[in-house]
Amino acid sequence: MADSNAPHHNYKMFKCFNRKFKASEAGPPPDVKAVFAKYAQGGDRMSIDQFRTFLVEHQGESALTISDAHTILLQFTTRHPGEAAQHKKHVGGLSLQDFFHFLFLEEFNAPIRSQVHHDMNAPVSHYFIYTGHNSYLTGNQLSSDCSDVPIIKALQKGVKVIELDLWPNSAKDDVQVYHGRTLTAPVTLIKCLKSIKEHAFDKSPYPVVITFEDHLTPKLQAKVAELVIKTFGDTLYYPEAEDQMVEFPSPESLKNRIIISTKPPKECSESKSSKGKGSGRSSSEESGSDQDGEAIHSANAAEANSYQQSAPEYKRLITIHAGKPSGELKDALAVGDKVRRLSLSEQKLEKAAEDHGTDVVRFTQKNVLRVYPKGTRFNSSNYEPHVGWMHGAQMVAFNMQGKDKYNWLMHGMFKANGGCGYLKKPDFLMCKGPKGEVFDPKNALKVKKTLKVKIYMGNGWHLDFSRTHFDSFSPPDFYTKVYIVGVPADCGKFKTKIIEDDWIPVWDEEFAFPMTVPELAILRLEVREYDRSEKDDFGGQTCLPVSELKPGIRAVPLYDKKGEKYKSVRLLIRFHFE
């Protein structure tokens, strides 16, 4: 009995084994065929003029000229000669297969714009800024090493606010960077400063802000001032007048400049001596550790008499004066003549949003609000960023070491405006009514627009993953989860059907998302591979700012959990606004 079944069993195994290595070529979806037929006017080739008409009418590229269309076709055929016909054959235009291939290439058909296009001449307080928390940590908040490497990686991704915790070394004669009262191994301040100087503008020329969480004596503050001036030279910007500013400069005016934001040292000494023992908190609270800073404040108080000799150089370099709420939160949110930065933990922001939402919005129209993760996020996880953004918070500080979905959202949000690290805040967060009223995030709003997302298909997994990565004996079973993340009223989610046993899944499904605040909405896509017996495998993700989405059929590249782009994996999706 066993012998008679063996050949059939072996045949099945061989068939399965063969199938897993083969990715069947999927042809153009019906919509792509229909669009080609429409613009090629029924012919078997789309002329350059017809191609331009398609790009203008269907893809919304309204400024495109016939010369631009010709250049795009020339680049397409030059860079992809193996996939498309040679350029001389394109005198007659694109074939359907060439057209389909063109649509699937991000370099020609990306889902969002790649250029800076926001007005960059408003004060810094008018922008959301890509902000890191404890930027020097390589991993968790308690025991990972401190290094300049994560700082460099953050800058290369477009992060524009770098946080450094400053502590004395054991000899009290030098400054180290580490997460205080933890087992994190320190890195020298000078190493961090040099790496910032070298990589500050790798992604864009707009200013980098360094936030110091200062646990130093006045003498060491003077040393920090010396190191900062020596390292950055003319790149360092600080106001000519010693008085605190009444309005922040613009990102445009601060191109290729580095600025410092921290609590002025005189306030540290005064707060300790005037309020008495136990009344102050260490700057480590701002970093999220929520621990008393008695020793540091005592040291500051003890050396207060040296303030006149040492601390002024340090204070002089501070462009954005920082502080933390002391007393009533509503009083801390008062808008005065001078501009400043206020820092709140994620829990304090939630309380402020609940009790004083419009006060927070009013404060952020002129001043800077920084939000930081709560101290119990030891594993470098993150929080929902939209609470901060919908109240106008410019610096929503994130643990960039994390791999969570909130980190993906942060990366996605700051893909906007050419990935330069600064996003102009929506007008509704900046305007005031005739009686001084401002946007109230609690108010119910009408739907402004509906985004329709049609997911046609995906491709590239068979090139970027091993053949046995998802299943040992058969091709993967992919499906896509589709989310809108934004203000609570706009959040929604769907998922496609599961396409079994196919490296190139074709879903051809459309989903609609009505939105009240599309300016803050993010489209989140995540591909999973269905597994009956275990947790579904991860197959890629991306987050895209809805405000930047280009209409039409677009190639959407996917990223791994760390936010690194896959070489080949991408989805073909149509975006349509109503």
**Residue 402 is encoded by which pair of tokens?**
């994390």
Catalytic residue among 90, 126, 179, 215: 179
Rg (CA), the chain: 27
Q: How many residues are given for the chain?
A: 578
Q: Decide if 215 is catalytic.
A: no
* Burial of residue 9 (number of CB atoms within 10 Å: 0-12, 13-18, 19+): exposed
Sheet holding 506-515, edge to edge: 492-495, 478-485, 522-529, 537-545, 552-559, 565-577, 449-459, 506-515
d(C-alpha 138, C-alpha 150), whole Å: 6
Count of other CB atoms within 10 angstroms of residue 128:
25
H-helix segments, 42-168 = 48-57, 66-79, 96-103, 106-109, 149-157
Give 46's DSSP letter.
B
Q: Decide if 133 is catalytic.
A: yes
CA angle 287, 290, 291 (to 5 degrees): 115
Beta partners for 537?
A: 529
**Residue 451 is encoded by which pair of tokens?**
């985004």
Q: Give the pairing type, strands 449-459 and 522-529.
A: unpaired
**Residue 152 is encoded by which pair of tokens?**
């460099």
3-state secondary structure of 566: strand
d(C-alpha 164, C-alpha 136), whole Å: 7
Beta partners for 506?
A: 457
Answer left, alpha or beta for residue 248, where phi above 0 means left and psi between -120 and 50 means alpha.
beta
Place of tokens 């070491």: 401
Catalytic residue among 90, 126, 133, 215: 133
d(C-alpha 298, C-alpha 312), whole Å: 19
Which residues carry out catalysis?
133, 179
